[in-house]
Structure 1
Amino acid sequence: MNWLVRTFSCSIAKKQFMAVTGLAFCLFLTSHLIGNLFVYGGKDAFNGYVEHLHALGVLIHIAEAGLIVFALIHIGTALILYFQNLAARPVKYKKKSNAGGRTLASATMPYTGLFILVFIVVHLVSMKFADHSTLTTFDVTAGVFAKPAYLAFYIVSMVVVAFHVNHGFWSAFQSFGASHPKYMPIVRGFGILFSVIVGAGFGLIPIAFNMIS
């Protein structure tokens, strides 16, 4: 038990917990985007994909429970680190600098993370927990995307997600000490590419739904 307390009291360990859970969510985003791409095959293809997921039964529930646990760890650790940083620097500097690699993306990670949390709640309420008794998942999703306010919110959210993922991806590797000058540019480049794919990939999904429906 003592080793667990010591682990959670160490800033490096907290960052590594965030790195592991963050990379896990990158894998989730990849699989979720691949699944959403079925919409380009038409209404039947997309509904068939959803039915296939539902057929997995308990496995889906286990995966969802795992995502919830990872989210709690990621958010909880982020909050602890955020307040620890505030406590360590009670007085703000008069002049901000980019010393130590601090960028706009790193400085706004807590706020983009909070925005993403709000988006997830709204997205789940609008999509997953909507009434599916008389409509297919495709029809429910198309109906939500047909609302201009939600569509605008969704697109802005995808931009924020891409911005968050871009910084989080390479900083996750940095948390494990993979900051070699020879390899970090490759990691950063892949992070940019991945964030663009995620942002554009999800951002174009509503267009496909509106075109098909």
Structure 2
Amino acid sequence: MDWVKGTFGTSIGKKQLMAVTGLGFIGFLTGHLLGNLTIYLGPDAFDSYAEHLHALGPLVNAAEIGLLLFAIIHVGTGLLLFLQNYKARPVKYVGKKWAGGRTIFSATMPYTGILILLFLIIHLKTFHFVDHDSQTISQIVSHAFSSVGYVLFYMFSMIVVAFHVKHGFWSAFQTLGLNHLKYMPTIFVLSALAALAAGFGFGFLPVVSRLVL
């Protein structure tokens, strides 16, 4: 117990928690995107994917509980670190936040994180906590993306997700001590590819849904 308090009671321990949970979310995003790409094959293929997924039953429930736990840890730890940093530096930096090695991606991480949390709440309300008995998933998606306002909100949110992933992916490896000079250039490239995949992969779904559903 003392080891747990000593490790995760420190700033580096909290950052490691965020790194592990963040990489977990990137793994989930990858699987979620691959499943959602079945929408390109039409409503039947998309509905079939959703039915096979929900047929897993307890496994899906366990995954949802795990994701919820990861979210609580990731968001809670992120807020604690943000407040600690703010208290340690109550006076804002003079000049750009990303001067001296920081980038716009790293400087906006707390804010993109908050926006992603807001998006997830609305996203779950729109697609998860709705009546699935009287309508198929393709009908739910088609109805949601029939709203221009929601489409714009969704696309903007995917840009925010891309920003968050761009910095979070490579910084997670750095936090976990896996930032060897030999591998970091590859990790930088992978982080950019992951950000582009999230931004464009999810961002184009509203457009595709309006064409095929």
TM-score between both structures, scaled by the size of structure 2: 0.96
The corresponding residue for 1:164 is 164
**Structure 1 residues 175-213: Cα deviation after superposition (integer angstroms, max 9, x where no partner):** 022333332221111100111011101111112211112
Q: What is the correspondence of 1:48-67 to structure 2 with a 5 Å cutoff?
A: 48-67=48-67
1:101 deviates by: 2.6
Contact 2:151 2:206 in 1 (8 A): yes
Q: TM-score when scaled to structure 1? A: 0.96
Gaps of 5+ in 1: none
Distance of 2:173 and 2:37 partners within structure 1: 28
1:15 is paired with a residue whose SS is: helix
Mapping of residues 1-213 of structure 1, within 5 Å: 1-96=1-96, 98=98, 101-213=101-213
Letter in 2 for 1:192: A
Distance 2:141 2:124 in 1: 11
Distance 1:98 1:46 in 2: 42
Moved more, 127-136 or 164-173: 127-136
RMSD of aligned residue pairs (Cα, Å): 1.3
Mapped to 2, the partners of 1:7 and 1:109 lie a distance apart of 23
1:88–1:72 CA distance, 2 compared to 1 (3 A) = same
Cα distance change of structure 1 residues 97 and 164 upon mapping to structure 2, 3 Å threshold: closer
Paired residues, what number?
213
Deviations 1:142-194 (A, max 9, x none): 11011000000000000010011000000001102233333222111110011
SS in 2 for 1:182: coil
Contact 2:98/2:106, CA 8 A, preserved across alignment: no
Report deviation, 1:99: 5.6
Distance 1:125 1:108 in 2: 26
User: C-alpha displacement at 1:90, in angstroms?
Assistant: 2.0
Q: Look up the equivalent residue of 1:45 and give its one-letter code.
A: A
Letter of the 2:73 counterpart: I
Task: Evaluate the alpha carbon distance shift between residue 73 and residue 37 of structure 1 in structure 2; reply closer, same or farther with a 3 A threshold.
Answer: same
2:163, 2:195 within 8 Å by CA — same for their partners in 1?
Answer: yes
Please say if residues 47 and 137 of structure 2, whose CA atoms lie closer than 8 Å, have aligned partners that are also in contact. yes
> Which deviates more, 97-106 or 164-173?
97-106
Secondary structure, aligned partner of 1:101: coil
List per-residue Cα deviations over 1:1-20 (Å, max 9, x = no partner).
21111112211111111000
* Runs of 5+ unmatched residues, structure 2: none
Deviation readout 1:82-126 (Å, 9 max, x if unpaired): 111111112223344646532111111000000000000000101
- Residue 65 of structure 1 and its aligned partner are, at CA, apart by 0.1
